[in-house]
Chains A and B, each alone.
Chain A
Amino acid sequence: MISKTAIGYLVEKLGAENVASEKEDLLVLGYDSTPGVHHLPEVAVYPTTREGVLAAMDIARREGLPIVPRGSGTGLSGGSVPVKGGMVMCLNRMNRILEIDEENLTATCEAGVITLDLFNATAAKGLFYPPDPGSQKISTLGGNVMEDAGGLRGLKYGVTRDYVMALQCVLPDGSLLNTGGKSVKDVAGYAFKDLLVGSEGTLGIITEITVKLIPPPQAKRTILAYFDDIRAAGAAVSQIIAAKIIPSTMEIMDKATINCVEDYVKIGLPRAMAALLLIEVDGHPAMVEEDAQKVDVILRQVKAAQIHIAKDAEEAGKLTAARRTALSALARVSPTTLLEDATVPRSMLAETFAEIERLTAKYKLTVGTFGHAGDGNLHPTVLCDERNAEEMHRAHAFYDDLYDKVLAWGGTVSGEHGIGLAKKEYLARQIGAGGVKVMKRIKNAFDPKGILNPGKIFSDDDPGTRARV
């Protein structure tokens, strides 16, 4: 239990408005978007500068409190959930965009900047920051970096990692680590930057981020294809890639997802169809024209039921916005939405859909599947009720079976959501005991006392850090 004196120190260093210790504040900082996980921290701080981060860390260290960094709490693997109590460090008030460097094509900002705000600020200068996770309108850059967030444009433009050029962070012992810079090449020593990206808050607290910007595509075409059979949609994706076309976006939604999304957005999505693909090609106008035609030919070959081209940017915008609501919209039909993040080599997409169908029937579940088909990254989501223990048991069995297949096909247990609490057991299955051991040694080198975001990524035997609902 944190002492009154320690809270007094925090207030003195950070200001009363930046320290929260009332139960009502703490209760609502103990969750993210991962179902079923909710823990109570002892204190929450809202540093507004790096000095504030250092001061809070210093006090946490003296009090022996674990520290859990938090952006907007939109994570999907429990990364910002304080499973062992302690201090939640909310970085959402460090939200200044410090510089947009048009000569070097970089942007530098504090960790709490909202992803979409950075996108808009760079777009205003004729530049483009591509990573666009589903929650971009509220997710923070710091959170994106810590989870290595993906998004709808990952297929052509890559994920957050591909844009991080430099990081400024505070290590658990209070030392500072600056890694990377604005140089496009940098092989000086170990690539700490790459280690920190996707480290889920277990190695250091990021305070400042420099990202790479690129010129935006000149033209874009948005195509919507409907299918009577979801496997045909899977085949379309594999064939488009095999035809050496790299769309910027190739997203899939199955029937359950289409219906939930349509209930919310009401833009006339086809409720009776088994699946839809949302495909965007962008780049030079001539190439866009050519790619769009080739995509059209392939869609006809695989017998898409209908092909529809967005008539303008507004319609295209509505379609991608609709896709972004998929997960939340699925929550309309059930209190609990248990989603996974399985990713397979793209040639295995059709098989993956078939496997999901088979397991859905086997375990008698309702499953909505959507995701970044072009990346082979699917989000099969079990629509269930956490109060029904027996149903939850079947849901977990469903994922156990599915991950066996995914790993056998050379896939991964997490394409973009991270391991956090939710997938600790699966990580060991993927990388083996040896892999986990090396990861733990790295963790130990950064955080020997284990105070940063404990209980994440690796499974220890502490039952308190188990994720299962």
Chain B
Amino acid sequence: MSRSKEKLGNFTNLDAPEYEDVLQCMRCGFCLPTCPTFVLTGRERSSPRGRVALARAVAEQKLEFTDAVKQEAFFCLDCRACTTACPSGVKAGEVMEVCRSQSHQQAPLGHVGKSFREFILQRMLPNPGLMEKSMLPARLYQRLGIQWLVRHSKALKLGPAWMGKAEGMMPKLDAPLRPQLPVVTPAQGEQRGRVGFFLGCVMTLMYPEVSRQTVRVLAHQGFDVVTPKETKCCGAPHLSEGDRQTARELALFNLNLFMQADVDYIVTDCAGCGAALKEYEEQLEELAGHDKLASFRAKIRDISEFLGEVGLRTDRLKPVNKSVTYHEPCHLCHAQSISRQPRELLKQIPGVELREMNEASWCCGSAATWGLKFSKESEQVLDRKLNNVKETGADILVTANPGCQLQLAWGVRERDLLVEVQHIMELIGEATP
């Protein structure tokens, strides 16, 4: 399973950018003010236009695939704000994602780094059972009160900075959801269809209560919910880390799994998973039949997109008397162009007052592992976001992606802000009897 073709300039022939894709950029610079890393640094090479120009220089053999190109590929947040801003249709984020794969081919990590990366991406993530077991110590650690001790003694500050942050970001962990969910959760009231639920790894491990609400709401809205136990990671972490081979294997597995299930839609409550699932068609174009891919793609919905499309039955909803502001996950608004639907759902919850924040679609600085790799820059991006949140004075900060939720909740805790961070499905769940 590989996508190799004619070699382009100084790229290797496996998973390289397409020349047409980099040539498409006419360098108007409309992307610059929307790029968080350009706004932070004012440095052209850390902008979408600059990054595409670097890729073009590599393609035209004006530049080797150097360390600096690799750095820029990973310094890109992959937030896709530039895709939304680009009138010419250039996808700088995707070009950089492919360049991450080039990085591993052209500048492999040292032995330890490589084994660690392979262990996580190729052994842990594709294996839900293994991941659940590995989370056990983390849960025990919280139960025994060590987390409280560590957080308060600042003991972790001694270690590398990212570990402290990763520890601090960990929400209160409950048992993973995957083994608990029945394969079929029956619809309540008038039946409106049958949906497959794609339960993401971070959701089941870190936010089991959120996805429990998603399934409950879907059933309450009149849908039979099928949650295949065998579901594997969507492959988004692999694309983000440049392991496109494992990503394709996972995608193929999930494609077959869900196409065997007899469902009208495939719904997810994780924006990152949704964006990845919607890209299967492109990713697997040489590995699966065109019709099968198109039919799979036609079924994928983010939960907000889905509820917006089928219409929320509001007659039995309980009021939630709260003011709410909405942070748009990049992988929802930029990667999937879904902005309107979550807001409309929020407005339909009785009692909810929606207050728009400035720059709602500006990244929160989480961006998969970016927030851990570039912790200083991530803080700056987060500050900008939380200042906008603060100005609204809302009771609840709603988002729709676990990565954002981890980052925002951590930021709110660190700054002692009086705002609760919730996934949109928690709020709809609260309104659902």
Contacts and interface: CB of A to CB of B under 8 A. Distances in A.
Contacts of B42: 46, 90, 92-93
Interface stretch (B84-92, B111-119, B175-183, B411-419): B84-92
B32 interface: yes
Contact of B87 (A33, A46, A74, A329): A329
A246 interface: no
A335 B56 CA distance: 13
B54 interface: yes
28 contacts: A23-B66, A23-B68, A24-B63, A24-B66, A24-B68, A27-B45, A27-B53, A27-B62, A27-B63, A28-B44, A28-B47, A28-B49, A28-B54, A33-B27, A33-B28, A33-B29, A72-B32, A73-B27, A138-B32, A138-B33, A325-B87, A327-B28, A328-B28, A328-B87, A329-B88, A331-B24, A336-B26, A337-B26
Contact of B29 (A72, A264, A325): A72
B72 interface: yes
B26 A137 contact: no
**Which of under 10, 10 to 19, 20 to 34, or 35 or more describes the interface residues of B?**
20 to 34
Contact of B30 (A29, A92, A138, A337): A138
Interface of A: 20, 22-25, 27-29, 31-33, 35, 46, 72-74, 90, 92-93, 114, 135, 137-139, 261, 263-264, 325, 327-329, 331-332, 335-337
Contact of B26 (A138, A139, A331): A331
A24 B99 CA distance: 15
Given A24-B45, A92-B42, A329-B88, A335 B20 contact: yes
A137 B33 contact: yes
B123 interface: no
B50 interface: yes
Interface in B377-396: none
B29 A74 contact: yes
Contacts of A327: 26, 28
A94 to B, nearest CB: 11
Given A72-B32, A114-B33, A329-B87, A32 B45 contact: no
B30 A325 contact: yes
Contacts of B62: 27
Contact of B27 (A23, A32, A139, A329): A32
A138 B42 CA distance: 12
A137 B24 contact: no
Contacts of B47: 28
Contacts of A23: 63, 66, 68
Contacts of B50: 28
Contacts of B25: 331
Interface in B298-351: none
B47 to A, nearest CB: 8
A26 to B, nearest CB: 9
A138 B29 contact: yes
A278 to B, nearest CB: 16
Contacts of B43: 20, 25
Interface of B: 20, 23-30, 32-33, 42-45, 47, 49-50, 53-54, 57, 62-63, 66, 68-69, 72, 86-89
Nearest to A264: B87
A406 B12 CA distance: 49
**Shortest 6 CB-CB contacts between residues of A and residues of B:** A328-B87, A331-B88, A325-B87, A24-B68, A28-B50, A331-B26
Contact of A135 (B20, B29, B45): B29
Contact of A328 (B26, B44, B53, B72): B26
Nearest to B41: A17
Contact of A28 (B24, B53, B86): B53
A25 B89 contact: no
Given A24-B68, A27-B54, A135 B89 contact: no
A55 to B, nearest CB: 19
B87 A24 contact: no
Contacts of A331: 24-26, 28, 87-89
A90 B28 CA distance: 17
A35 B26 contact: yes
A313 B26 CA distance: 30
Nearest to B22: A335
A135 B30 CA distance: 7
Contacts of A337: 26
Contacts of A335: 20, 23-24
A325 B87 CA distance: 6
A155 B62 CA distance: 44
A114 B29 CA distance: 12
A74 B28 contact: yes
Contacts of B63: 23-24, 27
Among B23, B49, B54, B87: residue with most chain A CB under 10 A: B87
B372 to A, nearest CB: 23
A111 to B, nearest CB: 14
B30 A25 contact: no
B30 A137 contact: yes
B87 A29 contact: no
Contacts of B45: 24-25, 27-28
Contacts of B57: 27
Contacts of A90: 42, 44
A264 B89 contact: yes
Contacts of A25: 43-45
A146 to B, nearest CB: 16
Contact of A24 (B20, B24, B72, B89): B72
A32 B28 CA distance: 8
A331 B45 CA distance: 22
A328 B44 CA distance: 19
A329 B90 CA distance: 10
A135 B28 contact: yes
